[in-house]
Amino acid sequence: MSASRSILLIIGGGIAAYKCLELIRRLKDRGISSRCILTKAGAEFVTPLAVSSLAGERCFTDLFSLTDEADIGHIALSRSTDLLVVAPATADLIAKMATGLANDLASTALLATDKRVLIAPAMNPRMWQHPATRRNMAQLEKDGVLVVGPNSGAMAERGESGPGRMAEPAEILAAIELALAGEAPCQRAIGFLGRLPGGASTQGPLAGQHVLVTSGPTHEAIDPVRYIANRSSGKQGHAIAAAAAAAGARVTLVSGPVTIADPDGVETIRVESAREMLAAVEAALPADIAIFSAAVADWRVADEATEKMKKDGSGLPPLALIENPDILATVAHRQSGRPGLVVGFAAETENVIAYAQAKLAKKGCDLIVANDVGGTGVMGGDANTVHLVTRDGVESWPTLAKQEVATRLVAHIARLAAMRAGT
Ligand code: C5P
């Protein structure tokens, strides 16, 4: 990860401005520095002091401040960065961008820049759906502006809901990572231009593709109250599903029992056991890409008790185990309808790479993402150290936040899939 990546964050005037404080913090964690412009309206929602404290430098607020212009002129401000990010991108800012208005520092920087621009729209659903905003967004799309969100859901105003909620900081961050890597994050607005039937987008490296992801553990019932489980949290698989959606894919996520939220913009199917997971996966096919990150239980009890087993002094219950179906191997070995790219995971506590290579061959997949789960807190934790194992070799990545692993992995998979498709 390069330490010199930087963005110019333009914070517009909307209630979602508070999410930018979290975004600045997360960007810093990823080694991306943010210089900030706070619009006059934005300053009604967050203070310049809060923004500067988190960004680690004074934020810019006024076009005609002689001190600011002496420090760094607005032209230089808009160019001495890798990417401009507008969040929240209000209807007003979007309209100014679409028409090329330049009457304050934010709009002037946006017009003067020679860098890519990513916007995270946020507004009331009626404003978002208004023909004027539709026209402005269509213009921005033509101008090559990148868009993340908005999501659909409840608004700050009571009783209002629909498309218009600003994307979450993690989603904006994933879009920033993609944009900085030269990819085009898609916008995922419901009912927005560019949306294909069935949910895929016309933008992004996975545009028009169906990506199937499994995530989380499985629970294998012993009796109606007890089950066999493992420590998987689903964080890595869910982050991959979110990153694939941000890359333009229509995503089906088949998730075992987890406590984390379903990712926005993804169709999530919840299951309990390995057999249910296999059924849901088969029902979700065909897919262009399948990523099996779930920690599926290898075994289940041979005879699940229909009533709660009793501790009645007659000895320990015999828990005979039988093997679960291997979902990854089943899909990877399909004669017809095999996804073009099948990716498996290998959680190991020793000989990580050697076991992953053996698994690649045995399971018939195209890529194994191997990770060492021995005593490092990977299962349930927020970071992961992975090795990408293919028939061509091994690529090892440094320890990264699971979200970053997801973003990079999706970009890597998109490239692999494109190469296989010969595009
Ligand atoms: O054999 P092992 O469990 O180590 O393989 C891990 C990979 O296989 C993961 O991608 C996991 O999602 C997948 N798997 C599966 N069905 C199983 C067991 C593992 O899809 N029953």
Calculate how far, in angstroms, residue 344's C-alpha sits from the geometric centre of ligand 1: 7
Distance from C-alpha of 304 to C-alpha of 294, rounded to nearest angstrom = 22
Q: Is 373 helix (H, G, I), strand (E, B) or coil?
A: coil
Which pLDDT value is given to residue 277?
A: 94
Question: What pLDDT digit, counting tens, does each position of 175-227 carry?
Answer: 888 888 776 554 433 223 233 333 445 568 898 899 999 999 999 999 999 99
Delineate the domains of the chain, giving CATH numbers in brackets.
Answer: 6-180 (3.40.50.1950), 210-421 (3.40.50.10300)
Who lines ligand 1 at CB under 6 A? Answer: 214, 274, 292-294, 296, 298, 324, 326-328, 344-346, 359
Is the full-model pTM beyond 0.85? no
Give Cα separations from 399 to 30, 329, 410, 412 (angstroms). Answer: 12, 28, 17, 17
Candidate from 232, 327, 328 with most ligand 1 atoms within 8 A of CB, to mutate: 328
Calculate how far, in angstroms, residue 420's C-alpha sits from the geometric centre of ligand 1: 24
Which pLDDT value is given to residue 377?
A: 61
Which residue(s) pair with 370 in the sheet?
346, 387
pLDDT band at residue 107 under the 50/70/90 scheme: very high
Higher per-residue confidence, 27 vs 188:
27
Where is 53: in which H helix or E strand?
Answer: helix 48-55
b/e map of 157-188 (b: 16 or more CB within 10 Å)?
eeeeebbbbbbbbbbbbbbbbbbbeebbbbbb
> Exactly one of 124, 230, 371, 384 is catalytic; which is it?
230
Question: What pLDDT digit, counting tens, does each position of 365-389 carry?
Answer: 999 999 888 765 666 678 889 999 9
* Beta carbons of 332 and 363 less than 8 angstroms apart: yes
For residue 344, the ligand 1 atom closest to its alpha carbon is: 10
Calculate how far, in angstroms, residue 295's C-alpha sits from the geometric centre of ligand 1: 6
Q: Which residues contact 228 (CB under 8 A, 6 or more apart)?
A: 219, 220, 222, 297, 299, 300, 301
Calculate how far, in angstroms, residue 298's C-alpha sits from the geometric centre of ligand 1: 8
Is 230 a catalytic site residue?
yes
Distance from C-alpha of 34 to C-alpha of 17, rounded to nearest angstrom = 15
Question: What pLDDT digit, counting tens, does each position of 70-106 carry?
Answer: 667 778 889 999 999 999 999 999 999 999 999 889 9
